[in-house]
Structure 1
Amino acid sequence: MPSSVTPTDETQLRPAHKQRRFASLRAIGALILREMSTTNGRTAHGYVWAVAEPVGGIILLTIIFSLGFRSPPMGTNFAIFYATGLVPFMFYMSLSGKVAQSIQYSKSLLAYPAVTFMDALLARIFFNTVTQILVSYLIFTGIYLTQETRTDPQITGIALSLLMAFVISVGAGTLNCFLFAAFPWWQSAWSILTRPLFIISGIFFIFDDVPKPYQDYLWFNPLTHVVGQMRKSFYPSYIGDYVSPVYIFSVGLTLMAIGLALLVRYHRDLLNS
C-alpha cells in the first residue's frame, strides 16, 4: 500500500522538525541569558557576584571552623578537609534547589508555546552546573595556593564526585519541580526535612568513625557517598570502600525519571493553576 506522505511532504517535514529543534535551543539560550541577568543583576558585575557570593561564604565558614578545629579527623589541614565536605554539599543544595524552582521561576514565560518546561529545566541545569563547577575550582585552587594541605588530588575522582552530586541534584530537583508546583506546602516541608543534612552528610566527620547501627542508617544518605568520593580523591590513603556510585546513579536517575513523567503528564495543569 503506497505511503500517504509524498517526497515533497517529507522535505517539508524535515525543515519543520529542524525549526522546532533550533527554536528550543534558542529558548534555552534566552533562558540562560535571563538567568545571568537576573542573578545579582542589579549589582555591578552581576554574574561575578553569583560566583563570588558562594565562594566567599564557603571561605568564611572554612576560616571560622579552621580556628575552632585545629586537628581534622583526616590529614593535617582542616581547611581542605572541611572544603572536601562542604563543596559537594553546597553543589547539591544549590543545584537541586534551583532546578526545583524551574517552573515557578519561568512560569510567565512558559505561557508562550515556544518555551516548554524542558527548556526551563535544561537552562537552569546548565547555568547552575557551570556556576557550581567554577565555584568548586576556585575554592580548591584558593586553598592550595594559600595553605599547605599535604594532599594528592585526583582529577578523575573529583570529577566523579561532582558527577554524582550532579545526578542526585538533578534527580531530586526534577521531582521537587513537580511537587513544589503541585503542592506549595511541600516546599516548606522539604526545607525542614533537609536541614539535618548539613550535620549528617559527613562534612565534619568521617563515615568510618560513626558507630553501628547509625553507620548503616547514614549509608542511605546519598550525600554521604558524594562527600566520601571527594575525600577519597584528595586523600589517597583513605579507602572509603562504602562509597557506591551505582547507588547514587540509581537513586538519581530514578528520581529524575519519576519527576519527568509527572511533569510531562501534569505540566499543563501546573501552568494553569
Structure 2
Amino acid sequence: MTPNPQVSLPTSKPRTNRRFSSFRTIAALILREMATTNGRSPGGYAWAILEPVAGIALLTAIFSAGFRSPALGTNFPLFYATGMLPFLMFVDVSGKLATSLLFSKPLLAYPTVTFLDALIARFVVNMMTHLMVAYLLLTGILVIFDTRVVPNFSIVVQGFAFAGLLAIGVGTMNCFLFTRFPVWQRMWSILTRPLFIISGIFFLPEAVPQPYREFLLYNPLVHVTGLVRRGFYASYDAPYISELYVAGVGFGLLLMGLVFLRRYHRDLLNE
C-alpha cells in the first residue's frame, strides 16, 4: 500500500506577519496623527501646554479676586489644575476617537488598515500628549508655588487612568454614532456643553446641597476629578468616589462601541 503523504501543519508565521503588519500600520498612523494634529501648526505642541495654562491662569485670577482660598488647600492654580487637566484629557481624547473613522476614511479602504488601528493610534498620541502636559503643569506648580502638599502618585495615576478609560469608552461609542448618525455629533456638542460646569472643576461635590448632589454624582467625571484631588490632598477623603461606577461606564461603552463598529464599519465606510 502507498503510504499517506505527510500533511504539513500550519505554522504561526502568517499570524506573526499580520501582527507585525498591524504594528507597522499603527506606527504609521501615529506619525500621521502627530504631524496633522500639532506638527504643522505654528508653535506645534506648545499650544497643547499653553491652552490649559491659560485656562488655569484665568480661573485663578477670577476666583482669587473673590475668595481668600480655594475649596481645598491654599493654592488656586493647583486646585483648578487637578480638576481641569483630567477634564481636558477626557474631552479631547474622546473627541479625537469619535472622529477616527472620518479622519482615516481614505486609509481604511486598504485591507491592511482596520478601524481598530485608527482608534489605537489616535488614543495613543492624544493620551500621551495630555499625560505629558499634566506632568509638566503639575510639576511646575509644585516647584513654583508653596502648595504644602505631598502628592500620592499612585492615586493620581489612577485618576488619570480612569479619565483615559472614560475617554476611550465614550470616544469609541461616539465613533460609531457620529458616523452612522451625523446629527448626533451636533446633539452631543450641545448636550455636553454644561460638563465644564458640572464636573467638579470649580467646586467640591460636598458643597452641593441635596438632592442635586445625588444627580451630580451620575456624572462619572465628578468621580475622576475627585480621585485626582484625593491624590494631591491627603486630608481629602472624597467618600462619594466610586471606581466601580466609572469603570463600568467606561468598559461598558467601549464594549458596545467595538461591537457596533465591528458589525457595521464596512457599511459606514461605504456610505
State TM-score, norm by structure 1.
0.93
Aligned-partner SS, 1:8: coil
Distance 2:259 2:118 in 1: 16
Partner Cα distance (1:83, 1:7) in 2? 64
Structure 2 distance, partners of 1:190, 1:255, is 15
State the SS of the aligned residue for 2:175: helix
> How far off is 1:150 after superposition?
1.5
Of 47, 54, 63, the residue aligned with 2:57 is 63
Cα 1:7–1:233, aligned 2, differ >3 Å: closer, same or farther? farther
Sequence identity (%): 48
Aligned to 2:212: 214
Tell me what 1:53 maps to: 47
Using the TM superposition, give the Cα deviation of residue 229 of structure 1 relative to its aligned residue in structure 2, in angstroms. 0.2
Q: Which residue in 2 is equivalent to 1:130?
A: 128
Counterpart check, 1:262 vs 2:260:
yes
Aligned ranges for residues 108-257 of structure 1 at < 5 Å?
Answer: 108-257=106-255
**How many residues align structurally?**
262
User: Post-superposition shift, 1:44?
Assistant: 5.9
Per the alignment, residue 8 of structure 1 pairs with 8
Displacement after TM superposition at 1:195 (Å): 0.4
Equivalent position SS for 2:10: helix
Pick from 21, 25, 30 the counterpart of residue 23 of structure 1.
Answer: 21
In structure 2, what is the Cα distance between the partners aligned to 1:43 and 1:199? 30
In 1, the alpha carbon distance for the partners of 2:86 and 2:36 equals 25
CA offsets, 1:193-244, max 9 Å, x none?
A: 0000000000000011100000000111000000000111111001101111
The one-letter code of the counterpart of 2:222 is T
Cα distance in 2 for partners of 1:256, 1:65 equals 33
How far apart, CA to CA, are the structure 1 residues paired with 2:71 and 2:85? 17
The gaps in structure 2 that reach 5 residues or longer are: 1-5
Cα distance, 1:7 vs structure 2: 4.9
1:204 match: secondary structure: coil
Structure 1 unmatched runs, 5+ = 1-5
Give 1:117 deviation, angstroms: 0.4
Instruction: Rate the CA distance shift 1:199–1:44 in 2: closer, same or farther, 3 A.
Output: closer
What is the alpha-carbon distance in structure 1 between the residues aligned to residue 160 and residue 39 of structure 2?
27
Secondary structure at the aligned position of 2:71 is classed as coil
CA pair 53-7 structure 1, distance change in 2 beyond 3 A: farther
CA distance in 2, matches of 1:114, 1:227: 39
User: Residue 239 of structure 2 aligns to a residue in which SS?
Assistant: coil
- Once the two structures are TM-superposed, the CA of residue 9 in structure 1 deviates from its matched residue by 4.2
Mark the CA change 1:59 to 1:38 in structure 2 (over 3 Å): closer, same or farther. same
CA shift in 2, pair 1:43/1:199, >3 Å: closer
How far has the Cα of 1:8 moved from its partner? 2.0
Q: Distance in 2 between matches of 1:39 and 1:54?
A: 10
